[in-house]
Amino acid sequence: MRPENQSSVSHFLLRGLPIRPEQQGVFFALFLGMYLTTVLGNLLIILLIRLDTRLHTPMYFFLSHLACSDICFSSVTVPRMLMVMLTQDQSVPYVGCIFQLYFFIFYAAFDNLLLAVMAYDRYVAVCHPLHYPTIMREELCVTLVAGSWVVSFVHALLHTLLLVRLSFCADSTINHFFCDLTVLLKLSCSDISLNELVIFTEGGIFLTLPLGSVLGSYICIGTIILRVPTMKRLLKAFSTCGSHLFVVSLYYGTVASVYFFSSSWDSKHIIASVMYTIVTPMLNPFIYSLRNRDIKQALHVFVNRANFFK
């Protein structure tokens, strides 16, 4: 606990990205382009899934929610970061910072849960293909997604309420480009032992259970494939699970580099945070579409329809 210089903070100062002033314009254009690509790419995925009846399957139902979450997740941090780069106004209201923190935790948590749900879907598709339609019925899919939204809401609300009870020191400079929970806790003058306890217990369980579900699903998939390892089965499994496995690796790899392999918030960890919050949501539409025949066909039909109505 640090009682010195305690004050009621009405604003925080976001330092933003460690970029030289003369390079601000270039990086502003770069991140604006990445953000627009994220929004338009994920919106296109949602639109294709909605319009093409062939994509009305559990896998694409989950993918549409992931695309929606990626748009919202990126929108929580990137517009504010771009505003700081454009105006050089680093001040963010206390309430605005708390809201950003809540929605950041909310959408990050939902992505975590949804990736586990999608891994279970792939496990059923590979290990129980004949029973897939009866297991992954519409009621179960809706329940899994709705449950993920509700649990993410409670998870984010818990950590946000524990944070707002704290007092902050006079130095309210956030050495980051968004209001991150771990950085805000370092600025507090109050006792944060309860916050840390909840992060290590509830937060640890919340992260490890979905990750364990993902790993368990792919271990079962690998076991089934290796029983009779033929090239045809390997290619089919890769086409079924490759995109999701790549997204999972990218997601958990960047999360681990930010929150588990970092001792201080230096430029390396800021770059890892950029990967986690900006690059990953942008890449997801490309990962799921470039090697996906169904998405390609739906896009081809959509383009033909658009040309027909011209």
pLDDT of residue 5 exceeding 50: no
What pLDDT does residue 6 have?
Answer: 47
Average pLDDT, the chain: 85
Mean pLDDT of 142-164: 96
Distance of CA 203 to the CA centre of its chain: 16
What is d(CA 219, CA 6) in angstroms, rounded to the nearest whole number?
Answer: 51
> Mean pLDDT throughout 235-263?
73
pTM of the predicted structure, to 2 decimals: 0.88
Residues 160, 98 contacting (CB under 8 angstroms): yes
Question: 150 vs 51, 73, 116, 143, 264, CA distance in Å?
Answer: 27, 16, 15, 10, 32
| CB 189 within 8 Å of CB 1 | yes
State the pLDDT at residue 106.
97
Least confident of 32-41, 107-116, 153-162, 251-260: 251-260
pLDDT at 262: 56
The structure tokens listed for 147 are 């449950």
Q: Residue 3 — pLDDT band, cuts 50, 70, 90?
A: very low
The whole-angstrom separation of Cα 124 and Cα 132 is 6
Q: Is the pLDDT score of 281 beyond 60?
A: yes
Instruction: Quick: pLDDT tens for 10-56.
Output: 888 888 788 888 888 898 999 999 999 999 999 999 999 998 888 89
Rounded mean pLDDT of 99-124? 94
Tokens 């006792």, residue located = 191
pLDDT tens, position by position, 193-243: 999 999 989 888 888 899 999 999 888 888 888 877 777 667 766 666 777
pLDDT, position 89 = 84
**What's the confidence (pLDDT) of residue 222?**
85
Q: Give the whole-angstrom CA distance, residue 45 versus residue 51.
A: 10
Q: Which amino acid is at 113?
A: L
Using an 8 Å Cβ cutoff, are 213 and 148 in contact?
A: no
For the chain, what percentages of helix, strand and coil (3-state, to nearest 5) are there? 80, 5, 15
Nearest to 240 by CA among 119, 141, 135: 119
What single-letter DSSP state applies at residue 132? Answer: H
At 43, the amino acid letter reads L
How does residue 172 score in pLDDT terms, banded at 50, 70 and 90? confident
Euclidean distance between CA atoms 16 and 176, whole angstroms: 5
Query: Which of 301, 295, 299 lies closest to 55, judged by CA?
Result: 295
Q: Tell me, what's the pLDDT at 308?
A: 59
Q: How far apart are CA 155 and CA 73, in angstroms?
A: 16
241 vs 71: which has the higher pLDDT: 71
pLDDT digits over 74-84, tens only?
A: 999 999 999 98
Range scoring the smallest mean pLDDT among 103-112, 215-224, 293-302: 293-302
Residue 154 has pLDDT above 90, yes or no: yes
* DSSP letter string, 188-226: B-S--HHHHHHIIIIIHHHHHHHHHHHHHHHHHHHHHHH
Handedness of CA 262, 186, 277, 157 (dihedral sign): positive
